[in-house]
Structure 1
Amino acid sequence: MKPNTTTVMRGLISQVRKTMPFHLPASRLCAGPCRGCPKKLLEFLDQELEEWETRLDAGEKPTIGDVSRFGKTCRRIHAALAANKLV
């Protein structure tokens, strides 16, 4: 049986929170040449995570498209952070 979209979204949020370097200080995020602004990308992603957590807690059920778009955003931000050698 496939999990529902709420379970998938919660799993994705959990995985992103464990994987992304939210704990790094700004001095480390902004050290050296950057491709994209890691600090702003992480701030944006944190806002998105908090928004989805709030929406899920309120009982909203994400669509498959919501999960797909959010996953794509996370992958792109991860790629930008990897290019800056932060993950």
Structure 2
Amino acid sequence: MPKPNTQIAMQSLINQIKATIPLNLEEAQLCQGQCLGCSKKMLEMLDAEISYWQYSDAIPSLKDLKNLEKIGQRTYKILKRNQLLP
């Protein structure tokens, strides 16, 4: 079975992030209670990165894939720490 090209891998990663992380949380939800890392800023950064790759004609490199994966993981950890994910 051939390996997917980076464009297919990027789309797969984006789909996985969207299935795991709710990108449309309300600011009121994000900024309630104790804040251990800024959920709002991380979601904004993740959303901007996803939007760029969804609407860009650029071909992602392996470094781009790794970068998006790291942002997604950091965002997930912060949302989890701030009790915004189950």
Fold match by TM threshold 0.5: yes
Percent identity over the alignment is 38
TM-score, structure 2 as length reference: 0.88
1:5-84 alignment runs, 5 A limit: 5-55=6-56, 58=57, 60-84=58-82
Q: Which runs of 5+ in 1 are unaligned?
A: none
Tell which has more relative contact order, 1 or 2 (C-alpha 8 A, sep 6+). Answer: 1
Aligned length, in residue pairs: 84
Deviating 4+ runs (over 6 angstroms): none
CA RMSD of aligned residues (A): 1.2
The structural deviation recorded for 1:82 is: 0.9
Q: Which runs of 5+ in 2 are unaligned?
A: none
TM-score, structure 1 as length reference: 0.87
